[in-house]
Amino acid sequence: MRIAIVAPLIHPARIGGAETYARAIVRRLPNMGTNHEFTIVLAEGHNAELADVRAETLNLPIPVKSVWRRVVWEHTRLAMLLRKHRFDLIHFLGSTASIGVSGPAVVTIHETLRFQAPESTGKAIRHYYSMNQKSIVRRGFHAIGVSEYDSTVMREKLSCPSDRTHVVPLGGHERFSNVDDSPHAKDLLWVGFPYPHKSVELLLKSFSIATDRLSEGTRLRLVGIPQEKHQHYRDLAIALGIGDRVDLSAPLPGDGLIESLLRTAVVCLPSTCESFGLPILEGLSCGRSVVCSSHPALTSLYGDHVHAAPSLTPQDLAECMVAAQREYIQGDRRQSHRDFARRYSWDACARQTLDVYNKILRSTKSH
């Protein structure tokens, strides 16, 4: 069967969990699904690593750097191209699907943020996602959620039928599983974009409370902070008395993040809402301890391998920081964290995605 994977997410201008997913999965699916013919739809200038991948590629002039121009393009020229090729199945990797395209199709919906924390996204974006995802359901497309929690939200909020809603957890342990243990590591690391629900200000306040009980010289490093926001967080750190113990940096390439992890004892993710928490998996995959919120998506995925704050207060989070750093320094759980993280591999993600493809195609043939 002829399957199209629509992956304009893969581009140097795009960074994030969904983009990491797209890069990983397009390298694996075609070589696993040997009874299918794959076409990968990419933007010109993409940085997908497709050497030895058994697939055709369509490199298209998608305006990836402009959100609204990209949206228009995806619903006009891309839709026309997909209709022209008459694929047996289309997989949209980026949470939305081109209007005007009929099934069979499946969409990976990476987060349910507009339901959990609407203040973290603009009104126009929320409206667009609402219209598009309702259209996905109306057209009978299948939907993939990245956690059981998210799939439940999709069924409840979008009225996705249970037989068209699937759970395929992300992978990621491979990326950092070769990062060595470091007996001298003691720092705390946060990675992401400082959306309101990521609770970066709370993290700083908690660190200021915990600092006297953490190992001497412990630093908090915030990776992914845009340059224009540096002054805000630097001023807050100074006001909290920790200005000389907080490092700010823009997003780091893979090698830079590995270097940062070598100095890290604890990965922090105190978000008020999450779908999968990829930084948690990446931290566990190299044996680091983790501090996070007690959001049900995270506790159901990671269980007792994380220090989940009972409530997102500065004091509770500070207690978790101290306990997590102590755990890493003692070293008793490093290997168990690594072993646990192996269950979430990109190979497993690709295999489960292929199972979804085959289920959809069997259902289509039976009708």
Sorted by where each begins, the domain ranges of the chain are 2-170+345-366, 173-341
Residue 56 in tokens: 């055709």
What is the reported pLDDT for 30?
97
Task: Give average pLDDT by consecutive 10-residue segment, the chain, 367 residues.
Answer: 95 86 95 96 93 95 89 94 96 93 93 81 85 94 96 94 96 84 93 94 98 97 96 98 96 80 96 94 96 97 98 98 98 96 95 98 79
What is the reported pLDDT for 124?
85
Query: What distance in Å separates the CA atoms of residue 23 and residue 48, rounded to the nearest whole number?
Result: 6
What is the reported pLDDT for 132?
93
Query: What distance in Å separates the CA atoms of residue 263 and residue 80, rounded to the nearest whole number?
Result: 50
Residue 286 in tokens: 């190299």
**108 closest CA partner among 91, 120, 83, 124:** 91
Asked whether 295 and 111 are in contact (CB, 8 A), the reply is no
**Residue 26 φ/ψ, nearest 5 degrees:** -70, -20
What is the reported pLDDT for 367?
56
**Strand ranges for 174-249 from DSSP E:** 187-191, 220-223, 246-249
**275 closest CA partner among 109, 72, 64, 87:** 109
Is 2-170+345-366's fold the same as 173-341's? Answer: yes
pLDDT tens digits, 183-199: 889 999 999 999 999 99
Residue 364 in tokens: 């289509």
What is the reported pLDDT for 298?
97
CA 200 to chain centre: 18
Class (C level, CATH) for 173-341: alpha beta
What is the reported pLDDT for 23?
94
What is the reported pLDDT for 234?
98
Quick one: DSSP state of residue 267?
E
- Fold classification of 2-170+345-366 (topology level): Rossmann fold (3.40.50)
